Amino acid sequence: MKALIVCTSVSHGNTRRIADAMGQALRAEVVEPEQVDVERLSGFDLVGFGSGVYLRRFHPRLRRFVRALPAGGRGRAFVFATSGLPGVRFQPLERALGQKGLQVDGTFSCRAFDTFLPFRLVGGLNKGLPGPADLERAHAFAEGLAGSPAKA
């Protein structure tokens, strides 16, 4: 199975650490949206899309990339995020990927270091996260996806 992970991680590298753990499990390259030609994605069986959460949404660079995907895509996808607070809203990105023809097979999120105001004033929220347990969970999540065949 050929997999690719597209990740925007601009704040603390939190999401990149999660992406790397998933990439290891899937033997997948982790790339930034700007490094991928959208037309190239059709060559992959499974593509992951992830970023930190910014003002309750996925990073604009990742959203722009998804908007630019050609319609009529095939294959499987998954979505992941790191955030300061619980309650990641996956649906908008899931819907956007579905509209491009991709089958979203799973979502993953974990809490991560956050220095967005007002947390900056107290030295940040969730210091030390993602931690080893999060990375293990990310690895296991990706392994699970690798093991599950595409639905008919």
Ligand X SMILES: Cc1cc2nc3c(=O)[nH]c(=O)nc-3n(C[C@H](O)[C@H](O)[C@H](O)COP(=O)(O)O)c2cc1C
Near ligand X by CB under 6 A, which window of 47-55, 63-71, 96-104, 143-151?
47-55
- Determine, following the binding rule CB under 6 A, whether residue 55 of this chain makes contact with ligand X: yes
- Cα separation, 35 vs 45, in Å, equals 18
- Determine, following the binding rule CB under 6 A, whether residue 109 of this chain makes contact with ligand X: no
- Determine, following the binding rule CB under 6 A, whether residue 10 of this chain makes contact with ligand X: yes
- Determine, following the binding rule CB under 6 A, whether residue 12 of this chain makes contact with ligand X: yes
Minimum CB distance to ligand X, residue 96 (Å)? 18
Cis peptide before 118 (omega within 30 of 0): yes
Share of the chain residues as helix, strand and coil, in percent rounded to the nearest 5? 40, 25, 35
Question: Applying CB under 6 A, which of residues 53, 77, 79, 138 lies at the interface with ligand X?
Answer: 53
- Determine, following the binding rule CB under 6 A, whether residue 101 of this chain makes contact with ligand X: no
Name residue 67's amino acid: R
Minimum CB distance to ligand X, residue 100 (Å)? 23
Name the pairing type of β-strands 46-54 and 57-58: antiparallel
Minimum CB distance to ligand X, residue 90 (Å)? 13
- Cα separation, 100 vs 67, in Å, equals 8
- Cα separation, 90 vs 80, in Å, equals 8
Question: Applying CB under 6 A, which of residues 83, 93, 96, 102 lies at the interface with ligand X?
Answer: 83
Question: 1: which 2 tokens?
Answer: 């199975």
Site size for ligand X, by CB under 6 A? Answer: 21
Binding site for ligand X (CB under 6 A): 9-16, 52-56, 82-85, 112-114, 116
